[in-house]
């Protein structure tokens, strides 16, 4: 047991998992854990692996070995230039996808309410950006990334165009789409990344708290015009501080009945 605990490190989930595994090792037939506890144990192990892969990315955007593109760049340099940003997107999308499954099963199979933190935002993002992006654009988003104050990098520029004139029009169109639903955005100037998400998601939830896709027959869900406008201007991430979210998730797990 001592060696097991000593070598078990690398993510915010470690201490929580060690505690659960100590309960399992007392009784290898899992009788110390509820069925919910067994599920959380396995899902947390998956999230831990994803987090470790994600965090081992390091800081590629400051790596002096990475080429910077110019007119003399080779084809190989051009091909590899986007690798770090793509790796960030893949890790982030994998993390969000696993969280979406976790929240769905807790809510559906185990009837746990409330489900995981930010579940609606995670569901909406996964549904539109990760799964059904091809309904809104021809190429998948997620080739660049941002680092903020030592946090794990997250995808950046989740919008169709970075051209200023096009981006400004998309911004005004987004504001007008919300206005059509009697929701006012006075300005988006100066709102970026997390601040932008903190404006957009509360407004979306005023339209539909579940952030489900629009159902014409019931007139519920997020209207397609707003979704398209988000793709044109900027689609907000559900999570910007991955480490903090993991800490919040562990705190949530600790409110559940995992042990008998």
* Token representation of residue 36: 């919910």
3-state secondary structure of 120: helix
Q: Looking at the 3D structure of the chain, how many domains does it have?
A: 2
Kindly state whether residues 146 and 230 are assigned to the same domain. Answer: no
pLDDT at 59 over 60: no
- Per the model's pLDDT, the better-predicted residue between 187 and 161 turns out to be 187
In the predicted model, is pLDDT for residue 31 greater than 90?
Answer: no
Residue 40 has pLDDT above 80, yes or no: yes
For residues 91 and 152, state if they share a domain.
Answer: yes
- Can you point out the beta strands (E) in the chain? 144-146, 154-156
Do 148 and 212 sit in the same domain of this protein? no
Alpha carbons 102 and 118: distance in angstroms, whole number: 12
- Range scoring the smallest mean pLDDT among 117-126, 131-140, 221-230, 233-242: 131-140
Q: Are residues 89 and 141 in the same domain?
A: yes
Residues of the domain holding 164? 159-236
Residue 43 placed within a domain: yes
Q: Is 111 left (phi over 0), alpha (psi -120 to 50) or beta?
A: left
Average pLDDT of 222-247? Answer: 94
Q: What is the mean pLDDT of residues 226-250?
A: 95
199 lies in a domain? yes
Please give the angle made by the CA atoms of 83, 87 and 92, to the nearest 5 degrees.
155
Q: Are 41 and 129 contained in the same domain?
A: yes
What's the mean pLDDT when you consider all of the chain? 84
Question: Looking at the domain assignment, is residue 70 inside a domain?
Answer: no
């Amino acid at each position: 047991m001592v060696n097991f605990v000593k070598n078990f490190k690398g993510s915010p989930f470690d201490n929580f998992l060690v505690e659960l595994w100590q309960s399992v090792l007392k009784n290898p037939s899992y009788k110390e854990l509820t069925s919910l506890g067994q599920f959380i144990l396995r899902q947390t192990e998956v999230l831990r692996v994803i987090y470790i892969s994600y965090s081992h990315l390091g800081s590629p955007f400051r790596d002096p070995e990475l080429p910077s593109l110019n007119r003399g760049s080779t084809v190989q340099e051009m091909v590899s230039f986007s690798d770090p940003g793509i790796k960030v997107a893949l890790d982030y999308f994998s993390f969000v996808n696993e969280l979406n499954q976790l929240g769905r099963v807790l809510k559906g199979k185990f009837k746990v309410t409330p489900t995981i933190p930010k579940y609606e935002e995670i569901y909406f993002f996964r549904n539109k950006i990760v799964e059904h992006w091809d309904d809104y654009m021809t190429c998948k988003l997620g080739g660049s990334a941002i680092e903020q104050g030592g946090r794990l990098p997250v995808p950046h520029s989740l919008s169709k165009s970075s051209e200023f004139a096009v981006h400004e029009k998309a911004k005004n169109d987004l504001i007008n789409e919300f206005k059509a639903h009697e929701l006012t955005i006075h300005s988006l100037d100066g709102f970026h990344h997390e601040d932008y998400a903190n404006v957009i998601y509360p407004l979306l939830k005023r339209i539909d708290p579940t952030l489900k896709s629009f159902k014409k027959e019931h007139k519920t869900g997020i209207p397609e015009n707003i979704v398209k406008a988000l793709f044109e201007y900027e689609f907000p991430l559900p999570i910007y501080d991955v480490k903090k979210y993991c800490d919040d998730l562990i705190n949530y797990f600790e409110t559940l009945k995992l042990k008998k």
